[in-house]
Amino acid sequence: MHTKAYVLLLATTLFWGGNAVAGKLAVGHVSPFALTTLRWLLSLVVLLPFAMGPLRRDWPKIRRSLPFMAMLGVLGFTFFNAAMYSALLFTSAVNVSIEQAAIPMVIIVLNFLIFRVRASLLQLVGFLLSLAGVALTASHGDLTRLASLDVNTGDLLMMLAVVSYGIYTVALRFKPDIHWLSTITVLSAAALISSLPFLAWEYGSASLLFPDTPGWLIAAYTAIFPSVLAQVFYIWGNEMIGANRAGLFVNLVPIFGTLLSILIVGEAFQPYHAVAMGLVFCGIWLAEYSGRKMTGTAPHVRAPSGEK
């Protein structure tokens, strides 16, 4: 069970890291909010043929929880991406990368404040090690650069995005026990509907850019991998090992984003990349080792929806 969760969460963060590269490649080919709307529209096109049966069976449970599930889609799918894309208009990618790594700490704090779930000392040490690795990557091996970062509107927007995704992750425990296809389809539909006001604003401000051929290819990637597969894998991993432990894997997103930039954009691999990856993986191992000691080496875990 643990090994499967690790593989799912690693794939999740790899796809999300690829999403950051896709966002860079999208510049000049499709505008940010058009891309946000298209990714959820295309996601639904992919999901619906497979999800109709589970949706019909799960509809009584979905109907009772529809407002809550809509909120999950807005917080975790739409608002996070809209705030992140907007943040990049005002602040640097360095700032956004570092601030995104605060998601695990937000999850730990929220779990403590709401559910009194305590984090162990090793989990906190693991988080700090991972955060150090992310900071090393974002600063390109020169941590002194962090002292010169500005706190501006973009940084505040990104922190709102971080809090939004932290709330989404913690709230996943309350989603109804339905098939995973039903879950991801309902959340994607909520994301599509709630993205339309952002698209309308982009159109009204004359900044809407319809996709060209590369833009459609980028939209297709974001729909299939970061939007569908990554979200499903994240939900599964969260159910298997819990929000505190699953959330720590988010720190791998900027690491994978850097590696994919090297492979796709052609940036050189630097020694600090290897050091940063070692710090992140060591941090995850420490926190996960501590989490397993706290819950037992073979805890009873409810099977994810769809794996009855």
What digits encode the pLDDT tens for the residues 237-249?
888 888 767 777 8
In a domain, 68, yes or no: yes
Would you place residue 296 in the very low, low, confident or very high pLDDT band (cuts 50, 70, 90)? low
On whether residue 78 sits in a domain, the answer given is yes
Question: Is position 27 within any domain?
Answer: yes
In a domain, 306, yes or no: no
Q: Is the pLDDT at 192 greater than 90, yes or no?
A: yes
What is the pLDDT, as a whole number, of residue 301?
Answer: 35
In a domain? residue 302: no
Of 108, 171, 137, the residue nearest 269 (C-alpha):
137
Residue 24 lies in a domain: yes
Q: Are 247 and 169 in contact (CB under 8 A)?
A: yes
Spatial CA neighbour of 131 closest among 287, 15, 289, 283: 283
Could you tell me which of 203, 219, 297 has the C-alpha nearest to residue 36?
219
Backbone angles phi, psi at 136, to 5 degrees: -65, -40
The answer to whether position 35 is within a domain reads yes
> How many domains does one find in the chain?
1
The CA-based angle 166-168-172, given to 5 degrees, is: 120
Evaluate whether residue 308 is within a structural domain.
no
Report CA 145 to chain centroid distance, whole Å: 26
Q: How does pLDDT run across 86-108, given as a tens digit for each residue?
A: 777 777 666 677 677 778 778 87
User: In this predicted structure, what is the pLDDT of residue 25?
Assistant: 82
Domain region containing 249: 2-295
Average pLDDT over every residue of 221-243 = 86
What distance lies between CA 23 and its chain's CA centroid? Answer: 14
Q: Is it the case that residue 59 has pLDDT exceeding 70?
A: yes
